[in-house]
Amino acid sequence: MQLLTEDIQAKAGKQLKSFSEIYRHNRTTKVRLYFYVVSAIILLTLFIPWTQNIRSTGSVTTMRQEQRPQQINNIIPGRIVKWWVKEGDFVKKGDTILQLAEIKDDYLDPQLLERTEEQLNAEQQTIGYYEEKVKTSEQQISAIENEKELKLNSIDNKLIQTKRKVQSDSTKLIAAENEMTVADRQLNAAIKMYEQGVIPLTELERRKVQHQNTSAKLTTAQNDFYNSKQDLLILQLDRNATIQNYSEKIAKTTGERFQSQSQIATGQGKVAKLLNQYENYRIRNGQYYVLAPQDGQVINARKAGINETVKEGEMIVEIVPENYQLAVEIWIKPMDLQLLEIGQKVRFTFDGFPALIFSGWPEASYGTFGGKIVAIESNLNENGMFRVIVAEDNEERKWPHELKLGTGAVGFSLLKDVPIWYELWRQVNGFPPDFYKPVVNKKSKSTKTNK
């Protein structure tokens, strides 16, 4: 029966192709070969280098603060008179954006600058008058001192003459006293001689007359001497009085000069204050026209209508600078921060620019752009991450000119090259990427990587 069945199947197999296609037990298979080949390929793939990286998101910004979109704030409060631009317009540095009018009572006078200048000129003229008065006072002091010197010289000459007269009268007094001494001795001798009868009475009376004449001469000499001394004392007192008188005059004139100088100092203070006010008014007049601080595009106007009032320091519009150096700010988790260094390379993809990404093989990726880390902030941001600034890598291809500020970006901070099996093992175990720092060899100036 079995032989019959096999015979029937053999005959049927010769007639039908399905038997040869379905039943393959008599043929050899290549599945084992395919399995070995695929396993070998997979095994070799596990040893292919894989570039570890840190994936992070961010946005396009600028390298410098003044190149970023900035607010234009009003310095003074005012009322909108005219808009010179509209949103979306491109302006040059110094172009007028907005014209304001004054709303404070203190500055409504249209001739405020002219009136302030008149006050300033009047005060300066007053200072000039006081300066002339000071010069006149100095001249008066000089004249008084000259007059004082002449007066004192005259008194000093009189003092010299009087002193000489006192000396002369003193000599005459001494001579009269000597003559009086001789006259006293002669009179006493004459009296004794008369009593002895040696001389007659007429001789005695003659000597008495001579004695009286000598006494009178002594009295005259004494009076002249005392009068000369009195004159000397009077001249000395007169000299002191003259010095006192002229000192009072000089002190009075000096006081007037000091008073004038005080008025000058006060006037200079007023002039400084008026100058300050004048400059403030002049600068304030220039603030009625809000000017563009740099070339850029006007956006986001906060005020719309005419006669609307704006407060001091209030934002009017924003301006996006026309010239800027692009950079990307990315946000890094605290756990990955220690893996980054200044100068480390980063790959980017930008929103709106197609790219084919192989994160572990940056050389095989398409549509990515290169950058270098230039700054790593040390403080934790409000979102719980650290901010990293990446600049364009000049050794790579240029970033697109069509990039706009705020465009989204995805960054891949390139780290160490490891085998794929190691990266899979690390990912499965949840380990962070390898920590390393670039070491620069001073001799060869080559950068090596330490694990």
* pLDDT computed for residue 356 by the predictor: 61
* pLDDT computed for residue 389 by the predictor: 92
**Total tally of structural domains belonging to the chain:** 4
Residue range 180-210, pLDDT digits in tens: 888 888 888 888 888 888 888 888 888 888 8
232 and 360 inside one domain: no
Q: How many CB atoms lie within 10 A of CB 162?
A: 19
* pLDDT computed for residue 447 by the predictor: 39
Q: Is the pTM of this model over 0.85?
A: no
* pLDDT computed for residue 448 by the predictor: 38
Identify the three-state secondary structure at position 300: coil
Q: Which helix (H) or strand (E) holds 417?
A: strand 408-419
63 and 74 inside one domain: no
119 and 243 inside one domain: yes
* pLDDT computed for residue 329 by the predictor: 92
Residue range 316-373, pLDDT digits in tens: 899 988 888 889 999 988 877 877 888 888 888 888 887 666 555 565 566 688 889 9
138 and 267 inside one domain: yes
* pLDDT computed for residue 443 by the predictor: 43
13 and 85 inside one domain: no
Q: Which domain holds residue 294?
A: 70-102+288-320
Residue range 55-74, pLDDT digits in tens: 788 899 888 888 888 888 88
Tell me which residues of the chain have a pLDDT lower than 70: 1-29, 50-53, 355-367, 414-417, 430-451
Q: What is the CATH number of the domain that holds 292?
A: 2.40.50.100
Is residue 184 included in any domain, yes or no? yes
20 and 92 inside one domain: no
- 213 vs 176, 179, 186, 193, 260, CA distance in Å? 10, 10, 13, 21, 69
- 418 vs 181, 333, 421, CA distance in Å? 144, 22, 8
* pLDDT computed for residue 361 by the predictor: 57
Name 71's bridge partners. 318
